[in-house]
Structure 1
Amino acid sequence: MRTTTSKNRGTILTNTEQKLWNRNFVAVCFSSFFLFMTFYILAVTLPIYVMDTLQGGKQQIGLVTTVFIIAAVIFRPLAGKWLDDFDKKKIIIVSLVIFMLCSAAYTLVHSLSALLLLRFIHGIGFGMASTATGAVAVDLVPDERKGEGIGYFSLFMSLAMVIGPTVGLTVMDHFSSGVMFILCLVFALIACFLGVSLNIPKKSGMPKTPSAKGWKSLIEPGAVPIALAGSILAFSYGAITTFISVYAKDMGIGPMASYFFMVFAAMIVISRPFTGKMFDRKGPNVLVYPGILLFTAGMILLSLAHTSSVFLAAGAVIGLGFGALLPSFQTIAVQSSPGHRRGAATGTYFTLFDSGYGLGSYMLGILAARTNYHTMYFIAALVVACTAILYYSLHHRKTSKNSQGVTTA
């Protein structure tokens, strides 16, 4: 029997109920979780390893992060194209194997030059694997539950962002860097095993379309507008992950940095079930504008913080805003693109997001060095506010005109 739909009150009813939490969706969510766990553990512990073991300086610490991000940004659009053109299962397995092998190689590195080479190759594996898991997750989510499904998928990344640094720093405090590298290998192995176990369904009834040529084969044009807005958001977000621990230490409340991320994640976890369903029922605008307002207000509050209570309150407000914005933007990127280009759309979105993140970390760091962290976070708040203008100009106004044109017709 054919699936019947009803658009009363914006809901879609189907004769055949499509489950969100099936075995494959759970597997890809946890594969992504352990992938990002490894990423965040290394992000916070490698600076310590470079300084204490390899006797490197601040410039070398920056290079260890920079080469990784550069490799990821280069290979994200390539991975997006490969996902659309070839077998997704093979792409996800190859990328996770590269990531796993690189995770195993850290125990063999004993010089800075070797570490930089490894970080570049590891960045290739991460860029491919994170794009592949995201694209596969999008395919596994029923069309009428895209906002909810992508919201839950990104929740696993958010949890890794909080748990990873805590686990990494705890292991480094009580054990050696070798134990930390072995732990990363174990997590990478789990991510790879879960990726191999995936049963990715073939899309039936998908019209055969000619492959895009030139730059359009790597970048999905439909995803670019919202990806640009996402890059501005990521520009300021980079100041949180990169400098929050230094900022807390500068204020004399260093131990509160880990609690900041716990509060940040708690707000995302609490709000995610509601925000995803709201996106599917009422559209993105009802989440995006309040999300930008909350993110901006939280960053301003963070710039004014001098006590632990204000510092943690800022983390809660930022978590509510960011938790509404990140999955909403990613869902818009997918929905604004043709169905057969979801891999390219995912790669395009995260390519620009990562670029904004890396650029923001670098430029806001220069600003902090010339002024102070309070000023830096206030400027970052103003940048977040500009996201509203960009979102309205590049997406909201365009979709409003299209809907009016359909109504008139």
Structure 2
Amino acid sequence: METSRQSLWSKNFAVFFLSSFCMSIGFQFLSPMLPLYATNVLGAPQSQIGYLIGGYSLAALVIRPYAGYAFDFMGRKKMYVIAMGMLAVISFFYPLSSTFFLLVLVRSLHGVCFGLTSTGSGAIVADILPFERRSEGIGYFGLAQTISSALGPALALSIMGDNQYKKLFLIASVLIVFAFAFSSMIALPKQVKPTRAINLKSLLEKRVYRVSALNMLVGVVNGTVMSYILIYSKEIGIVNGGVYFLGNSIGVAVTRLFTGKLVDKHGPKYVVTFGFISFIAGIIVLSMSTGLISYIIAAVLMGLGNGIIMPCLQAMTINIVEPENRGVASTTYYALTDIGVGGGAIILGMMTKYVSLRDMFLYNGLFLLIPLILFHIYVMNDYNRKLALITAQN
């Protein structure tokens, strides 16, 4: 029988979930729609759309090393509330972006704030959850993003109507204000400050490089999909391309029912392998899609893959460091993810001058074989060794 100490849905966890949900649905109102806004309203060429995702992710990358250090040394709640406040303020600048350059600039500033909040959330949720159920709890916490991914794009398209982008931007900003309000209600356990001095070694956690590098490679594909999925849906004749996000979210939601429990009980090896296989199959189906059914099947398969891979790798990252180093470990994990998402969106976006979006998605599917192979020959043994050391210390 579980003790109350092992309960997942404490008041803190519920409030933090609500904060994450409001922030995530605001994010989902913006991210899929900004490429359409850039091309349809601001007249940006398709080959430059990757700069929206790239600027956002690379700006987050710049701030993350300092964010992890600040969260560990200055207090996680204090830093998180400040970051959420900044995020809310900057969100109100989207309606003022009258040129593509200004849009990229605002998006990049938003990326700085996102770099702060996402780094902090990874450490905070680990502080709130009991160790024995951490993978399961992180999976449930990810439902905030799953639900917002399912609802956000469809609601955004409905709100936007006939190019009502400014109305959409305003509602997204208000949602992020609610996220800020909920974040101020969180109460965290007393935090032990690490003794390391601030330098390059203290800003990044080398023990999580291998796991984080896998998510960087996955991020290359996710950045490409996020940038071009709605444009691609129009190319293949799908009227409401937003159904991709619904199908993707269904796939992710299914994984939340079993992934965390399986990983906590049996380890990540076979679960993550299944995730990669599903993701690869999904993006290959996407590259071959000619109609709505195959498009939705691809979305569900990719959701299954992402819903397994990302929380598993995040939990693996947290599991191999001490509690006082979770902030910098999360920094390292997300920083490498930002490199993948941002770099992939920009570089592969430039490829659209020379290859079709259909071919680009196919190449992305083949590319995912690389992290799958590395997971088995380069990561798992290293992870098991480091996990044993941390477990022995406790």
**TM-score, length basis structure 1:** 0.87
Residues 233-255 of structure 1: per-residue CA shift (max 9 Å, x gap): 11112232222222222222242
The answer to whether residue 297 in structure 2 is matched with residue 313 in structure 1 is: yes
Counterpart code for 2:225 = I
Counterpart code for 1:241 = M
Where does residue 8 of structure 1 map in the other structure? none
Counterpart code for 1:92 = Y
Contact 1:41/1:167, CA 8 A, preserved across alignment: yes
Contact 2:127/2:323, CA 8 A, preserved across alignment: no
CA offset at residue 126 of structure 1? 1.6
Q: 1:221 aligns with which of 185, 206, 231?
A: 206
Q: What runs of 5+ residues in structure 1 fail to find an aligned partner?
A: 1-12
Where does residue 396 of structure 1 map in the other structure? 380
CA distance in 2, matches of 1:367, 1:60: 10
Where does residue 355 of structure 2 map in the other structure? 371
CA distance in 2, matches of 1:146, 1:61: 37
The answer to whether residue 286 in structure 2 is matched with residue 298 in structure 1 is: no
CA distance in 2, matches of 1:402, 1:124: 31
Where does residue 344 of structure 2 map in the other structure? 360
CA offset at residue 54 of structure 1? 4.9
Where does residue 220 of structure 2 map in the other structure? 235
The answer to whether residue 137 in structure 2 is matched with residue 152 in structure 1 is: no
Change beyond 3 A, Cα 1:15–1:404: closer
SS at match of 1:197: coil
Counterpart code for 1:227 = S
CA offset at residue 125 of structure 1? 1.4
- Which structure: larger Rg? 1
CA offset at residue 310 of structure 1? 1.9
* Range with greater deviation from structure 2 (365-374 or 229-238): 365-374
CA distance in 1, matches of 2:341, 2:70: 24
Of structures 1 and 2, the one with the larger relative CO (CA 8 A, separation 6+) is 2
The within-5 A match list for 1:15-164 is 17-51=5-39, 54=42, 57-58=45-46, 61-110=49-98, 114-164=102-152
Contact 1:93/1:196, CA 8 A, preserved across alignment: yes
CA offset at residue 397 of structure 1? 2.4
* Range with greater deviation from structure 2 (56-65 or 14-23): 56-65
Where does residue 266 of structure 2 map in the other structure? 282
Counterpart code for 2:212 = A
CA offset at residue 383 of structure 1? 1.3
Contact 1:159/1:265, CA 8 A, preserved across alignment: yes
Change beyond 3 A, Cα 1:271–1:311: same
CA offset at residue 79 of structure 1? 1.1
Residues 128-162 of structure 1: per-residue CA shift (max 9 Å, x gap): 11221222111111100110011111221233233
SS at match of 2:31: helix
Counterpart code for 1:171 = I
Residues 186-226 of structure 1: per-residue CA shift (max 9 Å, x gap): 101110000011111214xx5x6421552122111112110
Residues 244-290 of structure 1: per-residue CA shift (max 9 Å, x gap): 222222222242x2222211111211221211111111111121111
SS at match of 1:17: helix
The answer to whether residue 246 in structure 2 is matched with residue 246 in structure 1 is: no
CA distance in 1, matches of 2:353, 2:105: 29
Counterpart code for 2:219 = A
* Range with greater deviation from structure 2 (364-373 or 84-93): 364-373
Contact 1:296/1:382, CA 8 A, preserved across alignment: yes
CA offset at residue 331 of structure 1? 0.4
Contact 1:71/1:124, CA 8 A, preserved across alignment: yes
Residues 291-311 of structure 1: per-residue CA shift (max 9 Å, x gap): 111111222222222232222
Where does residue 10 of structure 1 map in the other structure? none
Where does residue 176 of structure 1 map in the other structure? 164
The answer to whether residue 370 in structure 2 is matched with residue 386 in structure 1 is: yes
Contact 1:29/1:137, CA 8 A, preserved across alignment: no
CA distance in 2, matches of 1:217, 1:405: 20
Contact 2:120/2:327, CA 8 A, preserved across alignment: yes
CA distance in 2, matches of 1:244, 1:58: 12
Contact 1:84/1:344, CA 8 A, preserved across alignment: yes
Q: What runs of 5+ residues in structure 2 fail to find an aligned partner?
A: none
Over the aligned positions, Cα root-mean-square deviation in angstroms equals 2.5
CA offset at residue 114 of structure 1? 4.7
CA distance in 1, matches of 2:385, 2:114: 38
Contact 2:8/2:130, CA 8 A, preserved across alignment: yes
Change beyond 3 A, Cα 1:295–1:366: same
The answer to whether residue 330 in structure 2 is matched with residue 346 in structure 1 is: yes
Contact 1:44/1:168, CA 8 A, preserved across alignment: no
Counterpart code for 1:28 = F
Change beyond 3 A, Cα 1:45–1:228: same
Identity %: 29
Counterpart code for 1:46 = L
Contact 2:125/2:138, CA 8 A, preserved across alignment: yes
Contact 1:71/1:121, CA 8 A, preserved across alignment: yes
